[in-house]
Amino acid sequence: MDKIRSSNKIDLILSHYKNPQRSDLSKILLAIQAEFGSLDQDIIKKVSSFINISSTEIYGYASFYSMFYLTKPGKYKIRVCKGTACHVKGSKNIIDAIEKYIDIKAGESSKDGLFYLETVSCLGVCALAPVMMIDDKTYSRVNSMMIKTIIDDIRETENINGR
């Protein structure tokens, strides 16, 4: 039943595109992702049939752009800057600490579904390097020793809120 309901929602989104063009691909994928949170293989196959672009090409397109998620992201999106200033000031150590503490790699979600880790080219606050963001909150001059406290604070908030 759930697959049928999901398929119907996808069909409804696709119905807005009467004569789909390649140029509609991004809009279609974003609309579907807004509904489902990510673009899994079944979604990519359905879009492929609809717009007449190979699944492989759509997968390549979606995996190239960071705005698309091929796995459902965790509740909290952790973005670590890898720009020049952040790199020089140790962003690699921050990434390593997060990966080790939460047991994920960049582009993955934690097993508990709370965290999703991604690296970005620049967050635009180079004077505060190294920088990371969790959702809309910016953490400046971060070091690997701070990661446990930041993550534990979020987990504690989730437990208090009945997670």
The tens-digit pLDDT sequence of the chain (163 residues) is 356 567 789 999 999 999 999 999 999 999 999 999 899 999 999 999 999 999 999 999 998 887 898 888 889 999 999 999 999 999 999 999 999 999 999 988 999 999 999 999 999 999 999 999 999 999 999 999 999 999 999 999 988 665 4
Buried b (16+ CB within 10 A) or exposed e, 44-55: bebbbebbebee
Task: Give burial (CB, 10 Å; 0-12/13-18/19+) of 70.
Answer: middle
Question: How many Cβ atoms are within 10 Å of 104's Cβ, its own excluded?
Answer: 18
Please give the pLDDT value at position 95.
Answer: 98
Please give the pLDDT value at position 115.
Answer: 96
Please give the pLDDT value at position 2.
Answer: 58
Name the token pair of 158.
């989730």
Question: How many Cβ atoms are within 10 Å of 66's Cβ, its own excluded?
Answer: 12
Name the token pair of 27.
């809009």
Please give the pLDDT value at position 147.
Answer: 97
Please give the pLDDT value at position 1.
Answer: 38
